[in-house]
Structure 1
C-alpha cells in the first residue's frame, strides 16, 4: 500500500509482482551474473536481490527478490537500465527493446518528468494497476477424473468465453488434483502471478477428496463459505456436512470456488460477474450465488 509520512520515503506493496520482462534484445553467450549486477546497479539494489529466471535469444525475465525500500528510486530508470545492459558483452539493446511489468515495477518506464511528480503519478498508476489486475481471471478446473481424461471439462471453455465477452482477460490453468496442498499451491501461484480473480470449479462437495473450500479458507480465513446443500455427516459418502462454495480475498486477489456440475456453473457464473460489476462484498457475492443454486435445486425463483 502507498504511504507517505512527512519526509519519509514512499513505500509500495508490489502486489506480489516483482517480475521484469525485457524484450527486443539480442543475446549471444551472455553472462547472466553480469546482467543481474547491471540491473541491480541501475535500480540501486543489492545484486543478491536480482535473479535472472529466464533467458532467450531476444528476451530476459528477472525477479526482484525483495521489495525496494523506496519505490521512488525505481521511477524513470528505463534509460539507465537499458544503458547498463547495453554495456554487457554479448547483449545488444535496440530501438525495439521494451521493459514490461504487470506490477508496480512499471514505474521504471515513467518519463523523467512524471518521475519528478511521482506521488501524483503513483496515485494514477495504482488505480490503473488495480483495475488491470481486477480484470485478470484464472480458471482452475479440479478433479482427478478430469486429469485422467475420464470426464470432459466443459466448465473451463464456458467460463473462458463468458469472462472474455464481459471484458476480462481470462486464462485457463492446469487441472488441480484432489489434494489440499496441491490446491493451495495452485491458488498461491495464481495470486503470485497477479491474477485479480481466481475461479475454481469442483472440489466443493461433501466427500473427503473435496478440498477447494478448505484450500481457500487456509489462505483467506475470513472467506464466506455458505452451504448449497447440507447432509447428515457420516452417511454414505458424506464425510462432510454438505456442499459449499467459497468467496475470499488474499490481498488484491479474489478467490472463488464454484461447484462442479456444468449446469450449476452456468447458473452461478453470470451471478458472480454481475456481483463483481456491482462491487458486492464477499458475503453478498457468496449469498447471491447460493441463492441461484438453491433456486435451481428446489425449483423456486430467485427474488430480487
Structure 2
C-alpha cells in the first residue's frame, strides 16, 4: 500500500522551462488511480548532476514516503557522444541506495538507451523512469501496477518496468 509518494523530475530543460513537465501530472494520476487515498507530491525539478539528485532524494526520504519516482536521466548517450544531454539519475541512485538492481536496455546503435534502477531505503521504494512522455508513463504504470499487486521486490519491479519500456522501444515509440 502506498500512502505517500514523491515524484522528482530531473533535467536542466525541465528546471529552466525549456520543456514542460507533463510526466509528473500523468504519473500522479496513475498513482492516485491505484491508491486513491495516497498523498502525492511533486518536488522542484533537479538539474542533471549526481550530487543534486542525491540531495533531492535524501530530502524526500526525510518525509517518510513509501515511493519515490525520479523522472528522466536514464540514458547514457553522453558517455559516447559529447553533444548529447547528460543523464545521471541512474548513477545517482546507484551511489545513494544501499542495494539496487538495474536493467540496461541497449539501443539499436549499440549504446545505452536506458538504465532503470530500483531499490529500497528506509522502507521506501525508489525507482527511475525515462524522460520521454510515453516511456515515462508506461514504465511508471508497470511499477505502480506491480506495487498495487503487492510486489515490493526491487528485482521484480525493475524487470517489469524494463519489460514495459522494451515493449515501447520495439514498437518504435522509444526515443
For Structure 1 versus Structure 2, the TM-score category normalised by the shorter chain is: 0.7 to 0.9
Task: Give the direction of change, closer, same or farther, for the CA distance of 1:277–1:140 in structure 2 (3 Å limit).
Answer: same
Q: RCO greater where, 1 or 2, for CA within 8 Å and sep 6 or more?
A: 2
TM-score normalized by structure 1? 0.50
Query: Structure 1 runs of 4+ off > 4 angstroms?
Result: 230-233
The match for 1:289 among 135, 144, 161 is 161
Q: Unaligned regions of 5+ residues in structure 1, if any?
A: 1-130, 234-240
Instruction: Tell me whether 1:222 sits opposite 2:78 in the alignment.
Output: no
Q: Given that residues 224 and 247 in structure 1 are in contact (C-alpha distance below 8 angstroms), is that contact kept between their aligned partners in structure 2? A: yes
Q: Given that residues 200 and 258 in structure 1 are in contact (C-alpha distance below 8 angstroms), is that contact kept between their aligned partners in structure 2? A: yes
Superposed CA deviations along residues 26-58 of structure 1, whole A, max 9, x for unmatched, are: xxxxxxxxxxxxxxxxxxxxxxxxxxxxxxxxx
1:222 Cα deviation from its structure 2 partner? 2.4
Q: Given that residues 226 and 290 in structure 1 are in contact (C-alpha distance below 8 angstroms), is that contact kept between their aligned partners in structure 2? A: yes
Q: Unaligned regions of 5+ residues in structure 2, if any?
A: 80-85
Corresponding residue for residue 29 of structure 1: none
**Match of 1:171, SS?**
strand
Taking only aligned residues, the RMSD between alpha carbons, in angstroms, comes to 1.8
Q: Radius of gyration: which is bigger?
A: 1
Q: In the aligned structure 1, how far is the partner of 2:42 from the partner of 2:48?
A: 18
Q: In the aligned structure 1, how far is the partner of 2:19 from the partner of 2:113?
A: 23
TM-score normalized by structure 2? 0.85
Corresponding residue for residue 27 of structure 2: 159
Instruction: Tell me whether 1:210 sits opposite 2:87 in the alignment.
Output: yes
**Match of 2:99, SS?**
coil
1:242 Cα deviation from its structure 2 partner? 4.1
Q: In the aligned structure 2, how far is the partner of 1:268 from the partner of 1:136?
A: 19
Q: How many residues end up aligned between the 2 structures?
A: 161
Correspondence list, 1:1-304, <5 A: 134-167=2-35, 168-206=38-76, 207=78, 209-230=86-107, 232=110, 241-280=112-151, 281-299=153-171
Q: Given that residues 98 and 121 in structure 2 are in contact (C-alpha distance below 8 angstroms), is that contact kept between their aligned partners in structure 1? A: no
